[in-house]
Amino acid sequence: MSSSATVKILVLHPGEIPRFTQEEYRPPPVSELATRGTIVGVISAAAINQSIVYSIVSGNEEDIFGINNITGVIYVNAPLDYETRTSYVLRVQADSLEVVLANLRVPSKSKLRYLSIL
């Protein structure tokens, strides 16, 4: 017996802003009993020769979720309450950081994606 899978390879130009590997992320539902640190999902963006930094830019006003800005892991940051809120839609940003040697400032190029947490 054998099995096969399709592998899609995306070729990027080195100067392009990060590209998310999916248009929308829909992780599995999370229990309201989930403890702080419980992993909800992982987002991923691709860029050539650039460091990517992830952040949640909207939909997280109560700071219910956190994100590891290097790995893209989204986790529970505060208690969930099903009676108060049954779903969340987070807007997540991927920044490509490039250091400008002349003044050591860090400009960024960004892409945004939505993450639905039901």
In the structure encoding, which two tokens stand for residue 71, read together? 């790995």
CATH code 2.60.40.60 for 25-117: yes
**How far is residue 103's CA from residue 33's CA, in Å, rounded to a whole number?**
48
Report domain extents, the chain: 25-117
**How far is residue 1's CA from residue 49's CA, in Å, rounded to a whole number?**
40
Task: Give 12-39 pLDDT, tens digit per residue.
Answer: 565 667 777 777 888 889 999 999 999 9
Task: Give 50-83 pLDDT, tens digit per residue.
Answer: 788 888 989 999 999 999 999 999 999 999 999 9
Residue with the two structure tokens 């940003």: 93
Cα 44 to chain centroid distance, Å, stands at 6
CB 117 within 8 A of CB 31: no
Task: With 0.75 as the threshold, say if the pTM is over it.
Answer: no
